[in-house]
Amino acid sequence: MAGRPVEPVDRRTPAGALQTVDRALLVLLAFERTRPDWGVTEIAAEFGWDTSVAQRLLSTLAGRGFLVSDPATRRYRIGPAALRLGRLWERSGSLELLAEPVLQELRAATGDTVLFCLPDSFHMRCVAAVEGEEGPLRYYPLVGELYPAHAGATSKS
């Protein structure tokens, strides 16, 4: 599938981590809006694993609902269990609730869209946003979106 390459992810297994769990998480993190589906050989090539390892990881994640498999294309996509966890995190909203008054104050002072982002590997992840009210240039952020940590205002704080 054409598209930009997967964003850099730190692929070193953290000290004390279980390699299989770490690999499963790397697989889940490989899915993104520009790369919504993967095949077994693509995952194996992306991470330098044997295809048998990739197949076992993908089928295990599919068996638990974190991925779904399309039998016609033999490709995998994010499944409902991943959505459930994402929604659970989203609903917890503790950081968003803390940031909201400050974001509203900044928007009132500037009229611009204001984001609250946290580091996420080599990126900054938007965890809360307030859309701007005026100006010739409008931006509509998506909570959960990744931004490059090396560029832009999201990395300046």
Give the whole-angstrom CA distance, residue 154 versus residue 65.
33
10-residue averages of pLDDT along the chain (157 residues): 48 83 94 92 97 98 97 96 83 80 92 87 85 74 82 69
Give the whole-angstrom CA distance, residue 102 versus residue 50.
49
pLDDT score at 118: 86
Extents of the domains making up the chain: 19-85, 93-155
Give the whole-angstrom CA distance, residue 84 versus residue 52.
28
For residue 97, how far is the Cα from the chain centroid?
21
β-sheet bridge partners, residue 68: 77
Global pTM reads 0.59
CA 18 → CA 21, 44, 121, distances in Å?
5, 19, 19
Give the whole-angstrom CA distance, residue 1 versus residue 49.
20
pLDDT score at 74: 95
Fold that domain 19-85 belongs to in CATH: Arc Repressor Mutant, subunit A (1.10.10)
Of 96, 109, 97, 87, the residue nearest 141 (C-alpha): 96
Summarised one tens digit per residue, pLDDT across range 21-64 is: 999 999 999 998 889 999 999 999 999 999 999 999 999 999 99
β-sheet bridge partners, residue 120: 123
